[in-house]
Amino acid sequence: MTMFMNDMPTMPPEMMGPVMDNPQGFADAMGSGMEAFSAAMEGGGGMEAAFEAFGDVAGPMMAEMGISPEVFDAVGDMVGAAVGPAMMMGPADAGGGDMGAMMMDAVDMMMPEGTTMPPEVGGAMMDMGMAMGDAGVMPHDVAGEMMPPPGEPGYPMPCDAAGDPVCIPGVPESVPMTDMGGEPILQAPPADGACAAAEGPMMPPEGGYDHPPMAADMMMPPPMNMDIAMMGPNDTLESMGMNPDGSGGPYEMGTLEIAPALGEEGFVGADPAMDALNDAFGAPAGDPAMAPPVDAMDAAMGSAMDSAMDQGGAPGDGAPMAPEPDSAAAVAEAPPEDVDPSAGMG
């Protein structure tokens, strides 16, 4: 018996491309990583050390396939957010086969629409679950290690007003089925998936569970996506340009793009030009100290300059305001023919 969250992360193209090109290479990397995981557990290092050992071995092998360390870590967080709730709601004594089934279904449900999970990938997920079972780890402990802390962006389950999880481990019916608006929070494992074929009772009972309603003081943290998975330790949703629900971030189709802040409904700023720069750089208005990585500078600067120029019209006529002849804006608008205006920006 277990359930999955309805809002599942989607595998990004940076992972899907290399995996679909070389699924056996992915399976080999996962297998080697789990050997290191098991060795660390046998050595008494604990689960955190075991997952670190897994990454130390599997990460470089993934890099040889074309999967960067950043993408490898981010996708690991996304898989954790997908399978963690299922393990947390699953039986406390679920064995390796059941954990493998949950991992297989989770990754299958993460596949982009129209994409079939390669059998090598499914086999690697089952092997990972089996290795965890052989190492003696329990599903609720695995879930706690794989998911972000409760209440933080990317934590996939509802919390109460104090930020504590409402899920009682091993009791899927403790989680509301829908939110206050009637939108589904949970979904059953696929009827034709690995959980349905597992030996243990992994499927909900006929007629489903008797879930409680979503209380008014409960909250759902924003669902895990690539933006949230790539957040740094000091990042916030606001600094990454995201809304409270986790939407609107800079990550789109495999690229980090900075959207201009001006022109968006509800924008308020005492100094529009400076606020455009701050927002484009991922900083709150009035806090230019927070800047993006260097590889986002050029796009951010260009977007901010375009936005500031677009907002420069005189009140009432909509026409662009002509810059003063000696102003910096005039220099930026009409650089000398023999000067590259992008020089020094990357």
Q: Which amino acid type is present at position 185?
A: I
The answer to whether position 338 is within a domain reads no
Please report which confidence band the pLDDT of residue 311 belongs to, taking 50, 70 and 90 as the band edges: very low
- Asked if pLDDT for residue 276 goes beyond 50, the answer is no
Please, where are the H alpha helices in 90-215? 96-110, 119-135, 139-146, 194-197
Residues 118 and 264 in one domain: no
pLDDT score at 280: 47
Structural domain containing residue 269: 242-333
Residues 25 and 107 in one domain: yes
What does the angle CA 277 – CA 282 – CA 287 come to, to the nearest 5 degrees?
Answer: 65
The answer to whether position 127 is within a domain reads yes
Residue 36 tokens, joined: 């290191």
Largest CA distance in the chain: 79
Q: Three-state DSSP class for 290?
A: coil
Residues of the chain with pLDDT > 70, as a percent, come to 72
Of the residues 144, 178, 197, the one at which a domain ends? 197
Tell the residue number behind the tokens 């606020």, with chain if given.
275
Residue 67 tokens, joined: 């999967």
Residues 255 and 156 in one domain: no
According to DSSP, the β-strands at 251-252 and 255-256 are: antiparallel
Q: Which stretch of 159-168, 203-212, 231-240 has the lowest confidence by average pLDDT?
A: 231-240
Residues 20 and 167 in one domain: yes
The answer to whether position 87 is within a domain reads yes
Q: Which stretch of 87-96, 123-132, 272-281 has the lowest confidence by average pLDDT?
A: 272-281
- Asked if pLDDT for residue 90 goes beyond 90, the answer is yes
Residues 178 and 35 in one domain: yes
Residues 177 and 289 in one domain: no
Report how many domains make up the chain. Answer: 2
The answer to whether position 306 is within a domain reads yes
Please report which confidence band the pLDDT of residue 251 belongs to, taking 50, 70 and 90 as the band edges: low
Residues of the chain with pLDDT > 90, as a percent, come to 50
- Asked if pLDDT for residue 296 goes beyond 90, the answer is no
Please report which confidence band the pLDDT of residue 235 belongs to, taking 50, 70 and 90 as the band edges: confident
Q: Three-state DSSP class for 172?
A: helix
Residue 190 tokens, joined: 């696929």
The answer to whether position 75 is within a domain reads yes
pTM: 0.70
Bigger pLDDT: 123 or 292? 123
Residues 51 and 171 in one domain: yes
Residues 68 and 186 in one domain: yes
Bigger pLDDT: 14 or 297? 14
- Backbone phi, then psi, for 150, in 5-degree steps? -55, 140
Of the residues 168, 197, 226, the one at which a domain ends? 197
Residues 146 and 288 in one domain: no
The answer to whether position 18 is within a domain reads yes
- Dist CA 220 CA 306 (whole Å): 36
Please report which confidence band the pLDDT of residue 19 belongs to, taking 50, 70 and 90 as the band edges: very high
Residues 81 and 190 in one domain: yes
- Asked if pLDDT for residue 121 goes beyond 90, the answer is yes
The mean pLDDT of 232-241, rounded to a whole number, is 82
Residues 54 and 128 in one domain: yes
- Asked if pLDDT for residue 26 goes beyond 90, the answer is yes
Residue-wise over 84-94: b if at least 16 C-beta within 10 A, else e?
bbbbbbbbeeb
Q: Which helix (H) or strand (E) holds 5?
A: strand 4-5
The answer to whether position 230 is within a domain reads no
Q: Which stretch of 39-43, 142-146, 272-276 has the lowest confidence by average pLDDT?
A: 272-276
- Strands (DSSP E) contained in the chain are 4-5, 186-187, 251-252, 255-256
Residues 128 and 270 in one domain: no
